[in-house]
Structure 1
Amino acid sequence: MYDWANSVHALVIVSSIFPVYFNATALKAYGGPEMDFFGTPIKSSVLFSYTVSAAFLITALVIPLCTAVADNTGRKKAFMKFFCYLGAVNCMLLYFFTRDTILLSVFLFGLSLVGWSGSIVFYDSYLPQIATEDQFDRISAKGFSMGYFGSVLLLLFNLSMILAPSFYGITDKAIPARISFFTVGVWWILFAQIPFKYLPDAIGNGNKRAEGWLFDGFRELKKVYAELRQQPYLAKFLSAFFIYTMGLRTVMYVATIFGASELKLPSDSLIITVLLIQLVGIVGSFCFAWLSGQIGNIYALMVGVTIWIGICAGAYYTTEAKEFYVLACTVGMVMGGLQSLSRATYSKLIPDDTPDTASYFSFYDVTEKMAIVVGTFIYGMVEQVTGSMRNSILALLVIFVLGLILLYRIPSRKVYHYDLNQGN
């Protein structure tokens, strides 16, 4: 149910309505694609990429401190709530996003990302606590599919306001998008109360010392890193995960901007395309869970990364709307499937005797956040230097190829993590 609650942010704020509204508002405010960001001229699409990079860099720096306190005190759920409310409230404040508040809204968007990504760290760490290992693939996929389904319901409502504002008595065409941002925050907070009620509180390690806690999180990350040396396949998986996540998550954040800026697609077409991605993604999550049961997690991940390579190649040559829609459907099939399978695979590789799963998932999520930082920065930098998003797509293609090579180093077997880590 937390996937149901928070996925509206990924869909409405990150992937569909906000990027389109941001791009359109910037064009109206500055008369072109280039903005004035505190005296620095920068394209709106590049600023969007850099904002994502900055938000996830902040999360990567802050999360180790929070997980240290969560592990020492058992207050994992409290931190999950804090980041949830931080993200949701900033979404609600985006209701005031106009051409006069565009720079402030960039910061609100960044803070909403910090809240979303921070809460996911603690949410992910619950998986080993609430499920047995043979259930990881199925439950992880179920969470992503619930997220897709819930976010689609809210997007349909928001889309109805945008396409038929007169039905709701709205005369200002900008209001429906701003109401959409507000509804994301309300939806997020409302449905998050269900997991907050039923998820167990974390069990602390009894070390509730006040001194030295500030650096405990980084010590825990160092400890996990040291333990990786004793678990070679887990280390190899994280290396591959870091690389292919750079490409995967970057595509998720910039796809709509690409369609709007490079292909000049109309706003309603872009939003409907994102809606289609979510519906296909529900099927894709379960398909990859089934595929992992047939050929093993690693081979299933390799299939997904190979498809992503094809997506990037296709996007580079895409010039028509129909081609973009075909690519969007393909993205939907592999987007959620690869994410849910990655989370499940990591859960399987964590040692059985690990009491503080928050530390291990902190390492996993810091790895993911840094991958997003690097990926979105590379994408924005290549566009800024070359002036073309298509060159940025080529850079992502190279990243996916490297990720596939790293996955190839890991044996794929339908076994549990203690067999993989011992190499048996």
Structure 2
Amino acid sequence: MTLEKGNKKTIRGWIFYDWANSVYNLVISSAIFPIFYDTVTTQAFLRHYNQQHGLQLEEVPEGVNVVVDFFGTQLSPSVLMSFTLSFSFLIVSILSPMLSGVADLTGSKKKFMKFFCYLGAFSCISLYWFGQAPLEVGMLSVFLASIGFWNSLVFYNAFLPEIAAPEDHDRISASGYTMGYLGSMLLLIVCLGIVMGIGKEYTNVSFILVGVWWIGFSQITYRVLPNNVYNRPKSSRVLMNGFRELKKVLKEFRTQPKLKRFLNSFFFFNTGVQTVMLMAVLYAKREIFAGKYEDQATTGLIIAILLIQLLGALGAFLLSRISTVVGNVRSLLIVVAVWIPLCVSAYFLKTPFGFYILAAGVGLVMGGTQALSRSTYSKFLPETEDHASYFSFYDVTEKVGIVFGTFFFGLMEYLTNDMRSSILSVIFFFAMGWLLLLFVPRDRTGRKSDYDEQLTTDNQTLDYFK
């Protein structure tokens, strides 16, 4: 089966994977599971604390820090979560370039995409038993779900330059993110109905729904995306030849200064975006919805997440329109600059109302930042058939950044015993990303400019970047 560029049926099917997989990002990473995780670990700590002191307290005493035992080490639940996610992204950053070389060599992007999709979905389903099994087993499910989700995206994103022309990338990428926001919001409402209508003791049913939704709707995508787009022949010694394929692409990549400059910037600002997405709910539950606001925590956090989803879809659409007027890089400069005051305000936030205002701001810039980053990278690619390998550089840049972001978020809290100090590390990433974006050559269209031609042929410039 060959792939026709611009085929509407193929594009709609590709977009539908955002609808399928984004429920992981919302329900598991951002909304239901972080609240469930914090509740389960807090209750476990309280039971141990009561046993140890011969008490029957129903709440953790003021001034007592909640810790969990993980392989004999005492850690804050938020520190454990940030370290677990950091390690999962480290594994993804090692696996994705290796496997993408194999995928390009053998034309098996869809097979790898399906494998990691199913790994992530079944790991989400296994979270149903989180809290009943030892904590180490529960965190393994978190770890594998993260690997499955993020590795599947490497191969999914690699189809974008194959299904559409560069001038359509912004619109299609934004449509994908919009579908993802809307689909995940729909399932979140269903999960919220279970939690608030039937009872909180059924919260873990949400994790089964995520896995079933992810597997079920992804079949729409798999029906239209072909294997082996470029009819690559079968090869023996696949892994070794995959490394050779990656080495070849790396050599080509070094002659693409615009691509490298963009990835340098993307490393920093996307680290900030992903760290906010992964840690925002735990931060809000601990620092905003605590004490006198604790009874509002579940409802308040879900309202904030819904705000982010609604405005995220709007933000992705608006920024794709803005990019057609001022260009991709200028649009990213605008939106990354907005993240910095949002993080500063998060540091000083004290009330739920302020958090809702912040959530609205985050929603508007989050969807646009993600969608435009993906489409900008695809536009900057040279003419090539090795899209999975090229997108593995994008993916590795993203995942290594998240390793740093989540690790330093947890480390700042670990060292200072104050989660608010972790926000400072996030501000640094956005500021550095914005500064490095200034050095990315740009024109109004997002297509190759005259300056790009100069960069490609200027030997002194190339030597500088090597």
Instruction: Indicate whether the TM-score tops 0.5.
Output: yes
Which residue pairs with 1:386 in the alignment?
416
* 1:194 equivalent in structure 2: 220
CA distance in 2, matches of 1:51, 1:218: 28
- Return the match for 1:110 from 115, 134, 143: 143
| Aligned: 1:364 with 2:389 | no
The Cα of 1:100 is off from its aligned counterpart by 4.5
- Deviation of residue 63 (structure 1)? 1.6
Does the 8 Å contact 1:25/1:99 carry over to 2? no
Cα shift readout 1:386-405 (whole Å, capped 9, x = no counterpart): 11121110111111111110
Asked whether the 8 Å contact 2:324–2:445 carries over to 1, the reply is: no
CA distance in 2, matches of 1:246, 1:78: 28
Structure 2: 5+ residue stretches without partners = 1-15, 47-64, 456-466
Structure 1 residue matching 2:278: 3-state secondary structure? helix
Aligned to 1:24: 39
* Larger-Rg structure: 2
Which secondary structure state, in structure 2, belongs to the residue aligned with residue 413 of structure 1? Answer: coil
1:174 equivalent to 2:201? Answer yes
CA contact (8 A) 1:311 1:330 kept: yes
Q: How does 1:268-347 map to 2 (within 5 A)?
A: 268-347=299-378
Cα distance, 1:88–1:390 mapped onto 2, change above 3 Å: same
Q: C-alpha distance in 2, partners of 1:50/1:340?
A: 27
Equivalent-residue separation in structure 2 for 1:28 and 1:18 (angstroms): 15
Q: How does 1:7-156 map to 2 (within 5 A)?
A: 7-31=22-46, 33-98=66-131, 100-156=133-189
**Range with greater deviation from structure 2 (260-269 or 147-156):** 260-269
Deviations 1:170-197 (A, max 9, x none): 5xx322x100011000000000000000
Aligned-pair RMSD on alpha carbons?
A: 1.6
Distance in 1 separating the partners of 2:245 and 2:408: 29
Q: Deviations for 1:128-152, whole angstroms, at most 9, x for unmatched residues? A: 1111111000000000000000001
1:212-291 matches, within 5 Å, as 213-263=238-288, 264=290, 265=294, 266-291=297-322
Distance 2:359 2:318 in 1: 17
Question: Alignment partner of 1:343: what SS?
Answer: helix
Asked if the contact 1:53–1:373 (Cα under 8 Å) also holds between the matched residues in 2, the reply is: yes
Instruction: Map 1:156-167 to 2 at 5 A.
Output: 156-165=189-198
Structure 2 counterpart SS, 1:174: helix
The question of whether the paired residues in 2 share the 8 Å contact of 1:52 and 1:113 is answered with: yes
Change over 3 Å in CA distance of 1:200–1:47 after alignment to 2: same
Q: Segments of 4+ in structure 1 off by > 6 A?
A: none
User: Alignment length, in residue pairs?
Assistant: 415
For each residue in 1:2-27, what CA deviation from the matched residue of structure 2 results, as whole angstroms up to 9, or x when unmatched?
00000000000000000011011100
User: d(CA) in 2 for partners of 1:409 and 1:216?
Assistant: 35
Instruction: Summarize the Cα distance change of 1:417–1:423 in structure 2 as closer, same or farther, 3 Å threshold.
Output: farther
> Does the 8 Å CA contact 2:379/2:446 hold for their aligned counterparts?
yes
C-alpha spacing 1:205/1:366, structure 2 compared with 1 (3 Å):
farther
Query: 2:21 — aligned with what?
Result: 6
- The structure 2 residue matched to 1:405, chosen from 414, 421, 435, is 435
Q: Say which SS state the counterpart of residue 26 (structure 1) adopts.
A: helix
Conserved 8 A contact 1:315-1:327: yes
Looking at structure 1, the residues matched to 276 and 444 of structure 2 have their Cα atoms a distance apart, in angstroms, of: 30
Paired letter, 2:225: L
1:313 is matched by which residue type in structure 2?
V
- TM-score, with length taken from structure 1: 0.94
Q: Separation in 2 of the partners of 1:360 and 1:54? A: 23
Distance in structure 1 (CA, Å) of the matches to 2:257 and 2:309: 35
Counterpart amino acid of 1:4? W
**What secondary structure is seen at the aligned counterpart in 2 of 1:41?**
strand
- % same residue: 45
Q: What is the SS of the residue equivalent to 2:204?
A: helix
Instruction: Give the one of 406, 412, 415 matched to 1:376.
Output: 406
Distance across 2 between alignment mates of 1:27 and 1:315: 24
Conserved 8 A contact 1:28-1:99 = no
Q: Cα distance, 1:66 vs. partner? A: 1.7
CA distance in 1: counterparts of 2:250 and 2:266, whole angstroms: 15
State the Cα deviation string for residues 40-68 of structure 1 (Å, max 9, x = none).
Answer: 01000011111111111111111222212
Q: Which structure 1 residue ranges, 5 or more long, are not aligned?
A: none
Structure 1 residue 201, shift from structure 2 partner: 2.2
Q: For the Cα contact (< 8 Å) 1:73–1:204, is it kept in 2?
A: no
1:233 to partner: Cα distance: 1.3
CA shift for structure 1 position 304: 1.1
